[in-house]
Amino acid sequence: MNDQSNKWIGKRTVRPDGADKVTGRAAYAADATMPGMIWAKVLRSPHPHATIKSIDTSKAEALPGVKAVATAADFVDFPVDTPVPLGIQDMRWMSRNMLAKEKVLFHGHPIAAVAAINEEIAAEACALIEVEYDVLPFAIEIDDAIAKDAPILHDFMKFDGKPSNIAGTLEHTLGDVDAGFAEADVVIERSFTTKPVHQGYIETHACVVSVAPDNRTTIWSSSQGQFMVRAMTAYLTGIPQSNIKAIPAEIGGGFGGKTIVYLEPVATILSKKSGRPVKMVMTREEVMRATGPTSGSKSTVKIGAKKDGTIVAGQGTFYLQAGCLPGSPIRGAAGCAFAPYDIKNVHSFGYDVVSNRSKVAAYRAPGAPIGAFAVESVLDELAVELGMDPLKLRLKNAAKEGTKAAHGPTYPRIGYAETVEAALKSEHYNTPLTGKFQGRGVASGYWFNAGGESSAQVNITEDGNVVVTTGHPDIGGSRASIANITAELLGINYDQVSVQIGDTASIGYSNLTGGSRVLFASAMVVTESTEQVIEQLKGRAAKIWGIDPSQVVWEGGEARPMGEHSANFPSMSLEELAAKANATGGPIGAGSQSNTVGAEGGFATHVCDVEVDVDLGIVRVLRYTCFQDVGRAIHPSYVEGQLQGGVAQGIGWALNEEYIYNKKGQVDNPGFLDYRMPVCSDLPMLDCGIIEIPNPKHPQGVRGVGEVPLVPGPAAVRNAVHDALGIWIDDLPLSPPNVLAAIDANSSLQAAE
């Protein structure tokens, strides 16, 4: 598509859902109510690890106002020895995460739920449930979980033939790393740790569920996929998918954390048992204690290079916390870590480690920031060792079209080198820092991006406007981008297009809003549908004019006769064709469903300036620029928004965010006061360098943009702190106590103060 001729693609249109959101009208999950609705609360484990000997709910059931009680016994039983995969999840683990079965595995683990006429009575009834425990020793940190005498969470889990908390491994090998390191002039090896961090969506998990006596079920909830909610609820409750209508409420942030269920199946069973619609809303403390953060990690990375900067070998070992049940993102850590570079010899190994923490959930490029933190930190030290500019070192080794990546693909046309070149040429990178204890850091990052299943329906209304329905909850402005594309293809005004998110009964299966896939995949099916609609419109005009459809062209929102007929008939608008639709064959509309492929990976390079207050240990970000190949920016404002939001999360991960556990195995900071996400006064403006190397496998050139912006952040900040202080700090977060401790341990810096 010719950029210059685009009327809507690339324009900063006003999002279709915007007016509802700035006036308080937009309906999020917790805003829903239903006639006769009751409320449910969850009883949670007071122990990080214990066998459940018995659960007695009789006193709770007897409390006036209580309408239903549910425990794991009310749900479909998935034995531990038979996998039940659904996407990347396993229903064996999902069911045990939702309600504990044989054991409680973390402090806050749900055990039972009560529905009552109000929240207070539901909470009071939860306290009346009597649970007999056999309390067990617990392990929180990776080193404790993999120690020889570690308490084993799951008897069925074996590693090297022995009971173990290592749930799985993943290995990528390319070439021969030993031979590679033998060629190296310089080898740097370092070990790192990162803490678990939460997605931090401001909207807590919530749902309202109504089950009729015939099992017809309506779910109103906030998630990153109404079809995921339907499927998981069906699996866990045994109600067939065709009987469940999952309605996607507006979602108040997800970042990966709402790609699984916590509440919906529980509310479904409680509604079924009570005969009443049931509402559940988590508190922030429940979100922090019992929903998935991303993994904490420990890793070791070794990189070898020739004197000229050519990297000859890279090796990484990544241990990731899965929480209490298997499934940490080792694929993201081990797979993405070396992906920006053309390295002949790579060995990357990941360990999935369970411990007595809440089960992890996806978080924006799951695992990739952990891998990048280690690799990008080692690269920075390598650049110092070689006396090379860190960006030039990256550019010299940049992956490009034809590079074979260790995790599998041979890259098509990619824009990684362009992100580094843009950073090198930028005003930001070329403006010297002048203040004391100021420093600049750079880092790059990669994310796979995803395609997968999407469905769309494009209908022409009787008055000649357009309704597009897709199946993906809109988190960051995807409706606006879809409207831009539809208006462009049809040659009509943006305001004529309305974009809806269908419920599971009104649109075909569509996979999660996740993996940076929504605009990539939905644009493909919307494009196919719109092209079919255009063919129909041409056919209708041909019928009216009595000519062959091949003699009609669609241009500028109108059907026009061509060739010998071009002067015979006046062109017909969408409105005119819609008015005549019934006479020419009936309603005009088309749908498309597809398992989309060709997403291709995304790359970014970040430049970060910091200033360190060496008395207080506070690191302030002074300036930040994110350079990213976005393929094609369909709506530049929301592309920038993804970049800026990801950068802010990366800064939070680097500087302050962490789960702090006390000696009893409990999270000590389960709220926004002590779990310190960046606030407005913590950040500067976040600059974006948007690079557009169109994805050759997409009709509009789209690449996923949402996740890559988080990947380089923690390393860029850490490298900037090194530049400011001359100290390599290898453990996140770079919070005031940790930075002060690093300064105190460094006598030369103390002397400089």
Partner 1 sequence: MAKIHVSTTINGEPTEFLCDAADSMLDALRDTLGLTGSKEGCGTGDCGACSITLDGRLVCSCLMLAAEADGHEIETIEGMAAPDKLHPLQQKFLESAALQCGICTPGMLVAAKSLLERNPNPTETEVRFWLAGNLCRCTGYDKIVRAVMETAADMREAAR
CB-nearer residue toward partner 1: 471 or 706: 706
- Shortest separation between residue 287's beta carbon and partner 1, angstroms: 9
* Cβ count near 246 (within 10 Å): 27
- Shortest separation between residue 20's beta carbon and partner 1, angstroms: 8
Q: Helices 713-725 and 636-655: crossing angle, nearest 10°? A: 50
- Shortest separation between residue 229's beta carbon and partner 1, angstroms: 17
Task: Give, as ranges, the residues between 15 and 44 that touch partner 1 (CB under 8 A).
Answer: 15, 17-19, 21-28, 30-31
- Shortest separation between residue 676's beta carbon and partner 1, angstroms: 10
- Shortest separation between residue 596's beta carbon and partner 1, angstroms: 23
CB-nearer residue toward partner 1: 253 or 491: 253
Segment near partner 1 (CB under 8 A); pick from 10-18, 98-106, 484-492, 656-664: 10-18
Under rule CB under 8 A, residue 475 binds partner 1: yes
Contact with partner 1 (CB under 8 A) among 80, 136, 553, 677:
677
Do residues 217 and 244 make contact, with C-beta atoms less than 8 angstroms apart? Answer: yes
Segment near partner 1 (CB under 8 A); pick from 46-54, 331-339, 463-471, 681-689: 681-689
Segment near partner 1 (CB under 8 A); pick from 166-174, 432-440, 464-472, 666-674: 666-674
Do residues 47 and 153 make contact, with C-beta atoms less than 8 angstroms apart? Answer: no
Under rule CB under 8 A, residue 300 binds partner 1: no
Total chain residues near partner 1 (CB under 8 A): 56
Under rule CB under 8 A, residue 332 binds partner 1: no
Cα gap 676→426, rounded to integer Å: 31
CB-nearer residue toward partner 1: 273 or 284: 284
- Shortest separation between residue 289's beta carbon and partner 1, angstroms: 14
CB-nearer residue toward partner 1: 683 or 690: 683
Site string for partner 1, 175-204 (x = CB under 8 A): ------------------------xxxxxx
CA 127 to chain centre: 35
CB-nearer residue toward partner 1: 41 or 347: 41
Cα within 13 Å of Cα(266), Cβ side = 32
Pick from 344, 291, 356, 281: nearest CA to 107 = 356
- Shortest separation between residue 654's beta carbon and partner 1, angstroms: 14
Our CA dihedral for 461, 464, 470, 474, rounded to 10 degrees, sits at -110
Cα gap 517→507, rounded to integer Å: 18
CB-nearer residue toward partner 1: 252 or 508: 252
Q: What would the two tokens of residue 616 be?
A: 């207080």
| Strand boundaries in 542-617, DSSP class E | 552-555, 558-561, 572-573, 589-596, 602-613
Cα gap 512→257, rounded to integer Å: 12
Under rule CB under 8 A, residue 223 binds partner 1: no
CB-nearer residue toward partner 1: 190 or 284: 284
CB-nearer residue toward partner 1: 265 or 292: 292
- Shortest separation between residue 683's beta carbon and partner 1, angstroms: 6
Cα gap 440→434, rounded to integer Å: 11
Question: Are β-strands 618-629 and 686-691 bridged in parallel, bridged antiparallel, or unpaired?
Answer: parallel
- In our burial notation (b when 16+ CB lie closer than 10 A, e otherwise), range 44-68 reads bbbbbbbebeebebeebeebeebbb
What string of H, E and C letters represents the secondary structure of 9-64? CCCCCCCCCHHHHHCCCCCEHHHCCCCCCEEEEEEECCCCCEEEEEEECHHHHHCC
Cα gap 620→398, rounded to integer Å: 30
Q: Which of helix, strand or coil describes residue 423?
A: helix
Under rule CB under 8 A, residue 286 binds partner 1: no
Task: Give, as ranges, the residues between 224 and 283 that touch partner 1 (CB under 8 A).
Answer: 250-255, 281, 283
Question: Would you give the DSSP letter of residue 356?
Answer: S
Cα gap 353→370, rounded to integer Å: 15
CB-nearer residue toward partner 1: 30 or 91: 30
Under rule CB under 8 A, residue 307 binds partner 1: no
- Shortest separation between residue 21's beta carbon and partner 1, angstroms: 3
Q: How many residues does the chain have?
A: 753
- Shortest separation between residue 656's beta carbon and partner 1, angstroms: 13
Q: Which element (helix H / strand E) includes 349? A: strand 346-354
Segment near partner 1 (CB under 8 A); pick from 159-167, 461-469, 653-661, 682-690: 682-690
- Shortest separation between residue 537's beta carbon and partner 1, angstroms: 31
Under rule CB under 8 A, residue 671 binds partner 1: yes
Amino acid occupying residue 288: M
- Shortest separation between residue 681's beta carbon and partner 1, angstroms: 4
Contact with partner 1 (CB under 8 A) among 640, 658, 692, 723:
640
Under rule CB under 8 A, residue 336 binds partner 1: no
- Shortest separation between residue 23's beta carbon and partner 1, angstroms: 5
Q: What would the two tokens of residue 207 be?
A: 């749902």
Under rule CB under 8 A, residue 683 binds partner 1: yes
Angle (CA) 374-379-380 rounded to 5° is 100
Task: Give, as ranges, the residues between 691 and 720 that touch partner 1 (CB under 8 A).
Answer: none
Under rule CB under 8 A, residue 644 binds partner 1: yes
- Shortest separation between residue 675's beta carbon and partner 1, angstroms: 9
Q: What would the two tokens of residue 271 be?
A: 């509604």
- In our burial notation (b when 16+ CB lie closer than 10 A, e otherwise), range 298-308 reads bbbbbbbbeee
CB-nearer residue toward partner 1: 331 or 364: 364
Q: Which residues bind partner 1 (CB under 8 A)?
A: 12, 14-15, 17-19, 21-28, 30-31, 199-204, 250-255, 281, 283-284, 475-477, 637-638, 640-641, 644-649, 671-673, 677-683, 685-686
